[in-house]
Chains A and B, each alone.
Chain A
Amino acid sequence: MDKRIVIPGDFLSDDVKKAGEGTFIREGKVYANLYGLVNEKNKIRVVPISGKYFPSAGDLIIATVSEITYSNWIMDIKSPYEGLLHISEYPRRIESDEMMKYLNVGDSVLVMVKEVSPSMKIELTMRDSRLKPITNGRLIEVTPSKVPRIIGRGGSMISMLKNATKCNIFVGQNGVIWITGKEKGVNKAIETIHLIDTQAHTNGLTERISKFLKGNETSEVDHKSPDILNELLD
């Protein structure tokens, strides 16, 4: 599929019904409002090369504690807005003066965005068995708009990475990624992810990644057939 780069203000289409994210409408025509790649799959969208993370309810993200107040942990969620984890949203019942013991400034956690109010108050929660503090492994950051690319359709890209590097990889919607495993595998995973981050818009990236990861698997069974790999995002 041909990839087209646009800048804000570039004309996209006369069909107002097809306007998707990253576009705006003026006098019956659709224009790009971002610097990025045009994606014309269903609607016309512009995927930005860079941009910040804006939380939505239900997002699973990785946050870091930046401050502790009487009843809230204030979290850096790598967004223009900070996240608030109320003491009642911690998996256990704890007292206000114990908060520091469980989550201190600088600690990172896997959390879920519970609610985003119109006034941009971001409420987080840890009340879910999947959510917990992160105490080992590595954390890296990628551009949030690349997250779908790194996960891949149905998780295919990320599975491919995990198999080849023998690591566990969790990709937060906010672009923070948690990797655990043996050092060599972790380093490899990190380099591959950075490659995807910088090259996500190119053609042939999927084939390149899959080729090398496949060539890499000696005794392991290849879980995915090449056809599925080729169907990866865009």
Chain B
Amino acid sequence: MNDKPEKFIDNNGLRLDGRKADQIRDIKIEVGVLSRADGSCYLEMGNNKVIAAVYGPREVHPRHQQKSTKAIVRYKYNMASFSVEDRKRPGPDRRSIEVSKVSREALEDMIFTEYFPKSAIDIFVEILQADAGTRTAALNAASVALADAGIPMRGLVSACAVGKVDETLVVDLNKDEDNYGQADMPIAMTPDGKITLLQMDGNFTLEQFKQGLEMAQEGCRQVYEFQRKALLDYYAKKEETEEVAVIEEVLQEEAPEEVVEESIAEEMEEIEEDEAEEVKAAEAESDQEIEEDSSETYETSDTVEEEATETEEPEDEDEEKEEDESTIDESDDEREVSQ
């Protein structure tokens, strides 16, 4: 095990990894990395490596969890066995369950869930490599994945932690600072500065808390810029792709000469004409709908919303049993290792 470093801040005010007190770790974001998910994001924040996937809106399973007036939002945070120094047993533990809950609560109000009654928006984040601040990294990835999935939101959520080492407030703690530091406070924030996640453990004076909160908010702002840029860049990248060249070749070949059966052709033509009208009608209709939509007003997080009595994670009863069951690891046929 590592020994505690003597000093966390050197004489130049720099931290163990060379950062300044108010400096967040390097961030790398890739959008749309998974083929099966509706939206996805791979994100690195310092040595944290996380991947987020969004599925939805989609049907709710099990049925009884659906809500008649809006979509339910489910968030599952999970750490891979190999993500930490001492191998973690597969499956959710109590910490993951708590992180999942507060993370969901950080995002849910930003999503226009009322657009999708009786459906579910599922967010899964997998921590592939952990170096403190995994829950904030996870939320950052989840926000981007939600945007990638086309989920309507009021804005992206950005997250960052602040802590205290050697009585100095530092932003975005790494593992050592988190382990041996005196306080850790992760927050998540909307683009207009409202806090949607706040947890704290350790020791802060009132003054340290206020200042720390400001530092964390500034950290979140910086994260937001990375998230925004990643999404804009991803779209721009889609423009010039190799596909265009391939299609050019394909279309330049001669079209086949045979004509398709006439009866189908006729039917299709009829459908065509109707379609054209459809499109026109749809455009007219949507103009009307828009009238209605535009009367929607922004809801702050303290307005109407449901309650703390909602059922939370975990979604499966099975998960609660997880802690006692040993998950099925592989060894020789008859043997199971009890850890």
> Which of A's residues lie within 8 Å of B, judged by CB?
5, 7-9, 16-17, 19-27, 30-31, 33-36, 42-43, 45, 48-52, 54, 56, 58-60, 80-82, 119-120, 130, 145, 148, 151, 153-155, 158-159, 164-171, 173, 180-182, 184-185, 187-188, 191-192, 194-195, 198-199, 201-202, 208-209, 212-213, 215-218, 220
Question: Could you tell me the distance between the alpha carbons of A32 and B243 in the complex, rounded to whole angstroms?
Answer: 29
Bound complex: CA of A169 vs CA of B273, how far in Å?
Answer: 13
Identify the stretch in B42-50, B166-174, B251-259, B326-334 within 8 Å (CB) of chain A at 4 or more residues.
B251-259
- Interface centre among A8, A165, A188, A201, by most chain B C-beta atoms within 10 angstroms, is A8
- In the bound complex, do residue A192 and residue B250 qualify as a contact, i.e. CB atoms below 8 Å apart? yes
Q: How large is the interface on B (under 10, 10 to 19, 20 to 34, 35 or more residues)?
A: 35 or more
Closest to A20 in B: B290
- Cβ contacts under 8 Å, A30 to chain B: 294
Q: Which residues of A contact B191 (CB under 8 A)?
A: 9
11 A-B contact pairs sorted by A residue (CB < 8 Å): A31-B155, A34-B150, A43-B290, A52-B58, A56-B285, A80-B57, A165-B255, A168-B260, A198-B238, A212-B247, A218-B254
Q: How far is the CB of B142 from chain A (nearest CB, A)?
A: 13
Interchain CB contact under 8 A, B271 and A9: no
Interface residues of B (CB under 8 A from A): 38-39, 56-59, 68, 110, 112, 116-119, 147-150, 152-156, 190-191, 227-228, 231-232, 235-236, 238-239, 241, 243-244, 246-248, 250-260, 264-265, 267-268, 270-276, 278-279, 281-282, 285-287, 289-290, 293-298
Cβ–Cβ contact B235 & A49, under 8 A: yes
Are B241 and A198 in contact (CB-based, < 8 A)? yes
The answer on a CB contact under 8 Å between A199 and B154 is no
Residue of A with least CB distance to B265: A168
Contact among B273, B276, B278, B289 for A173, CB-based, below 8 A: B278
A24 x B68 contact (CB < 8 A) = no
A82 touches B255 (CB 8 A): no
Contact B154 A33 (CB under 8 A): yes
**Interface SS of A by simple majority:** mixed
Residue among B59, B190, B251 having the largest count of chain A Cβ atoms under 10 Å: B251
B158 → A minimal CB distance (Å): 11
Asked whether B59 lies within 8 Å of A82 as measured between CB atoms, the reply is yes
- Closest residue of chain A to B150, judged by CB? A51
Residue pair A199, B148 in contact (C-beta under 8 Å)? no
Asked whether A48 and B116 contact (CB < 8 A) given A58-B278, A80-B57, A216-B255, the answer is no
Contacting B149 at CB < 8 Å: which of A31, A50, A194, A220? Answer: A50
Q: Within the assembled complex, what's the spacing in Å between the Cα atoms of A45 and B286?
A: 11
Cα-based distance from A199 to B243 in the complex (angstroms): 9
Q: Chain B residues with Cβ under 8 A from A27's Cβ?
A: 298
Rounded to whole angstroms, the CA-CA distance of A30 and B296 in the bound complex is: 10
- In the complex, A75→B48 CA distance in Å? 42
| B159 vs chain A, min Cβ distance (A) | 15
Closest B residue to A130 by beta carbon equals B271
Q: Are B154 and A8 in contact (CB under 8 A)?
A: yes
A119 in contact with B68 (CB, 8 Å): yes
Contact B272 A155 (CB under 8 A): yes
B289: chain A residues at CB < 8 Å are: 21
Does A60 lie within 8 Å of B154, measured CB to CB? no
Q: Are A217 and B255 in contact (CB under 8 A)?
A: yes
B246 pairs with A191, CB closer than 8 A: yes
Q: Which residues of B contact A45 (CB under 8 A)?
A: 290
A165 / chain B contacts, CB cutoff of 8 Å = 255-256
A7 and B264 form a contact (CB under 8 A): no
Distance in angstroms from B41 CB to nearest chain A CB is 12
Question: Chain B: which residue is nearest A132 at the CB level?
Answer: B267
Q: Check B152–A33 contact: CB distance below 8 A.
A: yes
A195 to B238 CA separation, bound complex (whole angstroms):
11
B152 pairs with A195, CB closer than 8 A: no
New A-B contacts (5) at CB < 8 Å, excluding given A8-B154, A26-B298, A215-B251: A9-B190, A31-B154, A35-B235, A154-B276, A188-B250
Residue of A nearest to B267 (CB): A130
B contact residues around A31 at 8 Å (CB): 154-155
- How far apart are the CA atoms of A50 and B267 in the complex, in Å? 31
Contacts of B270 in A (CB 8 A): 130
Residue of B nearest to A19 (CB): B294
Count chain B CB atoms within 10 A of each CB in A49, A170, A180, A202 and give the residue with the most.
A49
Which one of B258, B281, B296 contacts A166 once the chains associate, using CB atoms below 8 Å?
B258
Measured in the bound complex, the distance between the Cα atoms of B294 and A19 in whole Å is: 6
Known: A19-B294, A168-B264. A48 touches B274 (CB 8 A): no
Kindly state the separation between the CA atoms of A42 and B110 in the bound complex, as whole angstroms: 27
Alpha-carbon distance A58/B270, docked complex (angstroms) = 16
Name the residue on B nearest A57 (C-beta).
Answer: B285
